[in-house]
Amino acid sequence: SQTIHQWPATLVQPVGSPLSLECTVEGTSNPNLYWYRQAAGRGLQLLFYSVGIGQISSEVPQNLSASRPQDRQFILSSKKLLLSDSGFYLCAWSSWGADSGNTIYFGEGSWLTVV
Amino acid sequence: AQSVSQHNHHVILSEAASLELGCNYSYGGTVNLFWYVQYPGQHLQLLLKYFSGDPLVKGIKGFEAEFIKSKFSFNLRKPSVQWSDTAEYFCAVNALDNYGQNFVFGPGTRLSVLP
């Protein structure tokens, strides 16, 4: 079965420091991968998605970047964190089935607090 | 681009009451539709999805949703809620063009069930 792992679960970083959140998926190949940010009362905001190694699409301009160095690895990064980057970040993957369409599955999330 | 709206920000019910959470989306093409649930302290889980066929979809834990194409709606229902249904519920749409890469989520509805 497929699993998704995301780490670290919580992170406290000073303003101006770098960020690296990692996500890996097991049990599937060539998944679509996503980074979302969840804010209270505002649902999930799509930050980045990737359909393959080295292919990244950004949905909103921001202080963050994403990379996909391997098929099942997705990394969210920042060179210099801002206070406004604090939040709950979710990695996800999706699969397509001819008889079931598309479904997206989420990791446990990472709480980032920038101080 | 797709968008999703959810009618209620916070719903409070007593146990055994009936539930209906509204969801409307804007997209003219073919879509997959989803309801996800997030229990306190847990990650997002798929509750049910519509891909094709019968517009009345049954999910886990006694939930169902009805896709009404003419109204661009996908409302979630449960005839009798339990205290354990207390959670946040997210409606989502996935457009099936452009390789179905983009999942768009609504802002969420918080359900509180009083014992």
3-state class (DSSP) for residue A17: coil
Distance CA A93, CA A4 (A): 8
Q: What is the dihedral of CA B109, A88, A25, A103, to 10 degrees?
A: 20
Q: What mean pLDDT comes out for the span A55-84?
A: 91
Distance CA A90, CA A73 (A): 14
Q: What mean pLDDT comes out for the span A70-79?
A: 96
B114 compared with B98, residue with greater pLDDT: B114
Mutate to test the interface with A, among B11, B54, B74, B101 (most CBs of A within 10 A): B101
Q: What is the pLDDT of residues B38-93, one digit of tens each?
A: 998 888 999 999 988 899 999 999 999 999 999 999 999 999 999 999 999 999 99
Q: How many CB atoms lie within 10 A of CB A51?
A: 15
Name chain B contacts of A109, Cβ cutoff 8 Å. 43
Name chain A contacts of B4, Cβ cutoff 8 Å. 43
Q: What is the dihedral of CA B100, B9, A62, A74, to 10 degrees?
A: -50
Q: Do B103 and A34 touch (CB under 8 A)?
A: yes
Q: Is A110 left (phi over 0), alpha (psi -120 to 50) or beta?
A: beta
C-alpha closest to that of A87 among A19, A32, A24, A34? A19
Question: How does residue A21 score in pLDDT terms, banded at 50, 70 and 90?
Answer: very high
pLDDT at A96: 74
Name chain B contacts of A94, Cβ cutoff 8 Å. 100, 103
Tell whether A60 lies on the interface with B, counting CB pairs under 8 A: no
pLDDT at B42: 87
Q: Which residue of A has its CA nearest to B41?
A: A108
pLDDT at A102: 80
Q: Do A105 and B46 touch (CB under 8 A)?
A: yes
Question: How does residue B100 score in pLDDT terms, banded at 50, 70 and 90?
Answer: low
Distance CA A107, CA B88 (A): 16
pLDDT at B98: 58
pLDDT at A78: 96
